[in-house]
Amino acid sequence: MIRNFARIAATATALSGALIVVQQPATAQTAAAQGASAQGDVSVTIYNNGQALVQDVRQLPIANGRSRIEFPDVSAMIRPETLSFSAADTGIVEQNFDFDLLTPTKLMEKAIGQTVTLLRTNPATGQETRERATVLSTAGGVVIRIGDRIEVLRDDDLPVRVIFDGVPPNLRARPTLSVTVDSSRAGNRPASIRYLTPGLGWSSDYVALYDEGKGTVDVQGWVTLTNSTGTTFDNAKTLLVAGSPTSVSSGYNPRYNSVRPVSPPRGSFVPGTETADREQLGDYYIYPIDGRTTIANNQTKQVSFLDVQAVPARKVYGFEVGWLQSDSDPRNVSSQIAFSSSKQGGLGDALPAGIVRFYQRDSKGTPQFIGENQIGHTPMGSELTLKTGDAFDIFVKSEVEKREKITGAEWEKSARWRVIKEDGSVVQGEAERPVTYYRTTMRYTLTNAKSQPVNVDLYQNGLDYGWWGRDFRIVSEDVPGEQLNADRRKWTVPVPANGERVVRVTYETRY
């Protein structure tokens, strides 16, 4: 069976399979080899669109004249075209990004045509045998030539080590940026690089403990950081920007970090008009992480940024009717929790987009999950009504109780036409069509199996049918309603405990 080299890499530290060894001089001990980070004073600004700005200031010896400086431990997903380099009395001439990282597979691929040493161990006697071999191919398996014979590395459970004479110069143990600079003097000095990279992202999550008896909610906000850049950012000063600056991809690196899409909030949302007491960057809010933190590669980290107790909140029941039509069966009303992000009597902060998860204590005092919803970026002073689920005991059935046509007494002239003939003469006229109106009576039946009365916010949507059918009237309604806009009307309907309430509304429309 031919051994694929990916399997050799996967079993590199096992007794069976091929172990890859690179021989290096004992003097080649560098910071990278010892595992220490070569980064300096690092600052990371992370945006909601999966982009991040990395600023790294390192103390480096810079020679007089033209020289090459290497910056290991940069993001493996760096956008090189966004790089900015700065050092006193030094100008940048050229830059290169070496993204071909040192892996067993890459090492073997780069060894094609080169000579390596195979060290085989007899499992019965423990005797080792060394042979020099030339790597011919790694396509579908490793093909080698030993003297006059051709072999493949097989999966025969015989311990095999592949020993390389050195690391190819174009392979890096870590993502490395190199710049060629021209300096007017020699000496140590701060050298800074600044670049954009995908692969760093953040999102917000909220834990809300609702107390129905007190009419309050405790809210804690968490920031979740993710890092898939291939690089760890050590002891970094971290800023989070609630916003997504426009970014035009250069096409250089398609491995952009996926970002959780943010949908408009379900339920009711009234934007606020208060300015939050936070630093702003242009039109975005900044959420700094206290102190410095290490953002490890392939790590998810959570940091608290909001903790507010006893925010006034109330339960709301809502029901949406999409059109003047009948439901085949009663439908559950939605259970919603309403609260404010205002400074007086609210959370007192601007809320970055995220998911709000609601909990409520049971009879034993244990918090239980009751639902979640998503919010967009929410300015301070906003009023939010978030759906948590469907109410078990409360239903609404909407029905067309009666519908009849009403023909107008006059004809409406709705179109004029004008035709120019080939001889230049003009013929014109007016077309007429009758206007037909409809009178529709809707019956909304609300039932409540709870032991206490409730109020249900009933919404009738679909009243605005376009420019040609925008005319409608509310002829009668059992409960006074509020016209929210041309398409939507709201009624707050009291429903008695263990009871039923029927509401009728009559519309006159052109459709």
> How does pLDDT run across 194-232, given as a tens digit for each residue?
999 999 989 999 999 999 999 999 999 999 999 999 889
Total domains, the chain: 2
- For 31, what's the count of Cα atoms within 13 Å in the CB-facing half-sphere? 9
Q: Residue for token digits 């669109």?
A: 49
Tell me: pLDDT of 118 over 90: no
* 86 in any annotated domain: yes
Burial (Cβ within 10 Å: 0-12, 13-18, ≥19) of residue 11: middle
What the block records as the tokens of 8 is: 């050799």
Lowest-confidence range among 76-85, 333-342, 369-378, 412-421? Answer: 412-421
**Is the pLDDT higher at 109 or at 253?**
109
Tell me: pLDDT of 388 over 50: yes
Rounded to whole angstroms, the Cα distance separating 407 from 113 reads 91
Same domain, 134 and 230: no
The distance between the two most distant Cα atoms of the chain, rounded to a whole number of Å, is: 112
Which of 151, 169, 198 is the C-terminal boundary of a domain? 198
Residue-by-residue DSSP string for 121-143 = E-TTT--EEEEEEEEEE-SSS-E
As a whole-number percent, the residues of the chain with pLDDT over 70 amount to 79
Same domain, 159 and 296: no
Whose CA is closest to 114, among 148, 138, 140? 138
What pLDDT, on a 0 to 100 scale, did the predictor assign at position 408? 56
Instruction: Assign 115 a pLDDT band (cuts: 50, 70, 90).
Output: confident
Same domain, 182 and 222: no
What pLDDT, on a 0 to 100 scale, did the predictor assign at position 19? 42
What the block records as the tokens of 262 is: 């943010």
What pLDDT, on a 0 to 100 scale, did the predictor assign at position 56? 93
* 122 in any annotated domain: yes
Q: Give the mean model confidence (pLDDT) for residues 262-286.
A: 75
Same domain, 183 and 99: yes
Whose CA is closest to 232, among 34, 38, 98, 45? 38
* 326 in any annotated domain: yes
Rounded to whole angstroms, the Cα distance separating 54 from 197 reads 8
* 241 in any annotated domain: no
What pLDDT, on a 0 to 100 scale, did the predictor assign at position 95? 76
Check: CB of residue 201 under 8 Å from CB of residue 295: no
Tell me: pLDDT of 84 over 80: yes
Letter for the amino acid at 447? T
CA 281 to chain centre: 20
Same domain, 214 and 297: yes
Same domain, 44 and 138: yes
Lowest-confidence range among 27-36, 39-48, 160-169, 269-278? Answer: 27-36
Residues spanned by the domain of 266: 207-236+253-511
Range with top average pLDDT, 164-168, 251-255, 271-275: 271-275
Same domain, 13 and 73: yes
Query: How long, in residues, is the chain?
Result: 511
- pLDDT per position as a tens digit, 310-366: 999 999 999 999 888 899 999 999 999 999 999 998 899 999 999 999 999 999 999
Same domain, 288 and 186: no
Bridge-based pairing of strands 299-321 and 65-72 is unpaired
Lowest-confidence range among 20-24, 237-241, 292-296, 478-482? Answer: 20-24
Same domain, 213 and 138: no
Burial (Cβ within 10 Å: 0-12, 13-18, ≥19) of residue 459: middle
Q: Give the mean model confidence (pLDDT) for residues 425-452.
A: 82
Same domain, 134 and 282: no
What pLDDT, on a 0 to 100 scale, did the predictor assign at position 245? 77
What pLDDT, on a 0 to 100 scale, did the predictor assign at position 20? 41
* Mean pLDDT taken over the chain: 80
* 487 in any annotated domain: yes
Rounded to whole angstroms, the Cα distance separating 200 from 236 reads 13
What pLDDT, on a 0 to 100 scale, did the predictor assign at position 256? 36
Tell me: pLDDT of 18 over 50: no
Lowest-confidence range among 81-85, 106-110, 124-128, 249-253? Answer: 249-253
What pLDDT, on a 0 to 100 scale, did the predictor assign at position 143? 82
Whose CA is closest to 260, among 304, 198, 200, 201? 201
What pLDDT, on a 0 to 100 scale, did the predictor assign at position 8? 35
* 459 in any annotated domain: yes
Same domain, 62 and 194: yes
* 276 in any annotated domain: yes
Tell me: pLDDT of 491 over 90: yes
As a whole-number percent, the residues of the chain with pLDDT over 90 amount to 41
Rounded to whole angstroms, the Cα distance separating 262 from 271 reads 16
Same domain, 278 and 161: no
Q: Give the mean model confidence (pLDDT) for residues 486-492.
A: 92
- pLDDT per position as a tens digit, 161-189: 787 766 766 656 566 777 888 999 999 99
Lowest-confidence range among 44-48, 265-269, 377-381, 495-499? Answer: 265-269
